[in-house]
Structure 1
Amino acid sequence: MDAGGNWATVGQRSRGGRRVHKQREKRKGKSVGLRIGTLNVGTMTGKGRELADMMERRKVDILCVQETRWKGSKARSIGAGFKLFYYGVDSKRNGVDVVLKEEFVRNVLEVKRVSDKVMSLKLEIEGVMLNVVSGYAPQIGCELEEKERFWSELDEVKESIPMGERVVIEVDFNGHVGEGNTGDEEVMGKFGFKERNLEGQMVVDFAKRMDMAVVNTYFQKREEHRVTYKSGGRRTQVDYILCRRGNLKEISDCKVVVGESVARQHRMVVCRMTLMVCKTKRSKIEKKTKWWKLKKEECCEEFRQKLRQALGGQVVLPDDWETTAEVIRETGRKVLGVTTHARGDREREPSPVF
């Protein structure tokens, strides 16, 4: 009810709620919202512009891409304001990329192309360090040695990242973590898909070992928005996003995007992340003596008189210059005042004292 005794409408209440929310956000400090995703494209050949258009349409800022099958280690524009950083050694298999919205390209500090299955980018966004890792795990039928090499590379990349920096790991793990989280509550939620397999257990073990959380599993979605791979009658969840457990609160949503045709079998997984930017402490401003007032005759005369009194009535300055300089500075502060850095205060060249 308002001051006039009328009941407020739903719209009025929501507008007021938004104002309060904005005020709270202002008190907390600045934040940067990001939409970060992952997608196994099967091949990047002929799909650059299509991928960029999808990212623009779905408002995705950063996308990790797997199984690109591009040979080389370069960065190139793919149109629509997006740039792709890629690495691959064979045009027939593997290959990983990270695609950035053009406005974030200047924020890239480091690119690590570890192998054709693991690469990472380090960005600095409003003072926050964000590490994005793209990975493609060996398929179930691959040799044990190849699987061990992948996990070793992923471990090495994760361990090289300083504790204070954000980490988002986006990988086609080719494994199922499964539905439910009994015994694994510290690293995953209940909303996986179907049964866990050996490769999925390796994902959970990695999360425990590295203090990470499997983001997909924390958000209750209908089955269609949890399935990341569809082929014929087969439906599975193999593409996952992981973040530090301590930063899980910065992710407000994560789901599978349906209705896109860039990839034939896989679907894009996207999470919404909000980086809280700490306010920088204002440096203490040094107050300066208003020496320019000595250009005024009355100020100059008062300063001379006060200085003589402070020096004990001596006309000739004492030999101890350090002591004399401090007396001059202190007298100047008392007689002339100091700056407050308010409008109108400005530093000027001092007039000669003697």
Structure 2
Amino acid sequence: MRGKASEVVETMTRRKVDLCCLQETRWKMDGIKIIDGKDSRYKFSWSGNDKGTSGVGLSDAEKDRLYQMLQSAVAKDPASEQLIIFGDWNGHIGAESTGFREVHGGQAIGQRNTKGERVLEFAFANELVVGNFWYKKKARHLVTYQSGTAATQIDLILFLRNFRRQVSNVKVIP
């Protein structure tokens, strides 16, 4: 993210992204920063280390639809919480939703491995869905990891099952 924050904001604006999860931010320590784009404003929250290597972050539009939907849900039911888990899980979940239709939307590629099985079991046990497996996309847009001829999805976004009807799309940009 060093030196690229404005570029990220412009890309998020152009693609109409409400919430963006970032890896390898390379910003030191933890913090919150407002970054203005040409026609937009985003709030970045990040967690890093004292050396400024690795790190993860979350960015959202200051007045985004997602925030309004979450506020609306909380206002109706103060006990409710929305949970979104994202990251490079290194689990190959595979194209088949067999055994996990409640959490796997069937819009995926590759072969399931043991780690992928564990991710699906975790999602099922915690009433989550794998968000980026519910929306139809071109095969080349599904790939988040490629090595030689093997292509699969390892960057995943999980959220509570009851939140699914409020989400219109989920996309991972490798």
TM-score band by shorter chain is 0.7 to 0.9
- Structure 1 residues 126 and 173: CA distance shift in structure 2, 3 A: same
- Partner of 1:45 in structure 2? 2
- Structure 1 residues 163 and 215: CA distance shift in structure 2, 3 A: farther
- Structure 1 residues 246 and 194: CA distance shift in structure 2, 3 A: same
For residue 110 of structure 2, give the secondary structure of its aligned residue in structure 1: coil
- Partner of 1:127 in structure 2? 72
CA apart distance, 1:188: 1.0
- Partner of 1:175 in structure 2? 91
Q: Which runs of 5+ in 1 are unaligned?
A: 1-43, 108-122, 131-161, 258-265, 267-354
CA apart distance, 1:52: 0.8
For residue 98 of structure 1, give the secondary structure of its aligned residue in structure 2: strand
Measured in 2, the distance between the counterparts of 1:103 and 1:221 equals 27
Deviations 1:288-310 (A, max 9, x none): xxxxxxxxxxxxxxxxxxxxxxx
Q: Percent identity over the alignment?
A: 37
CA apart distance, 1:234: 5.0
CA apart distance, 1:180: 0.7
Q: 1:64 and 2:24 equivalent?
A: no
Counterparts in 2 of 1:238-257, with a 5 A limit? 238-256=154-172
- Structure 1 residues 193 and 91: CA distance shift in structure 2, 3 A: farther
CA apart distance, 1:226: 1.1
CA apart distance, 1:74: 1.1
Q: CA RMSD in A?
A: 2.7
Q: 1:85 and 2:85 equivalent?
A: no
CA apart distance, 1:168: 2.4
CA apart distance, 1:92: 5.8
Structure with higher Rg: it is 1
Q: Which amino acid aligns with 1:246?
A: N
- Which of the residues 94, 104, 107 maps onto 2:54? 94
Measured in 1, the distance between the counterparts of 2:82 and 2:43 equals 22
- Partner of 1:204 in structure 2? 120
Which protein, 1 or 2, shows the higher relative CO under an 8 Å CA cutoff with sep ≥ 6? Answer: 2
Deviations 1:68-101 (A, max 9, x none): 2222111112331122111111546431111121
Measured in 2, the distance between the counterparts of 1:91 and 1:234 equals 34
Q: 1:221 and 2:166 equivalent?
A: no
- Structure 1 residues 45 and 69: CA distance shift in structure 2, 3 A: same
Contact 2:155 2:172 in 1 (8 A): no
Measured in 1, the distance between the counterparts of 2:44 and 2:27 equals 12
Measured in 2, the distance between the counterparts of 1:183 and 1:74 equals 41
For residue 127 of structure 1, give the secondary structure of its aligned residue in structure 2: helix
Measured in 2, the distance between the counterparts of 1:214 and 1:127 equals 23
For residue 253 of structure 1, give the secondary structure of its aligned residue in structure 2: coil
Q: Which amino acid aligns with 1:197?
A: N
Deviations 1:6-39 (A, max 9, x none): xxxxxxxxxxxxxxxxxxxxxxxxxxxxxxxxxx
For residue 103 of structure 1, give the secondary structure of its aligned residue in structure 2: coil
* TM-score (ref. length: structure 1): 0.42
Contact 2:70 2:82 in 1 (8 A): no
Aligned residues: 167
Measured in 1, the distance between the counterparts of 2:36 and 2:63 equals 13
- Structure 1 residues 102 and 186: CA distance shift in structure 2, 3 A: closer
Q: Which amino acid aligns with 1:206?
A: F
Q: Which amino acid aligns with 1:82?
A: Y
Measured in 2, the distance between the counterparts of 1:209 and 1:93 equals 34
Contact 1:48 1:79 in 2 (8 A): no
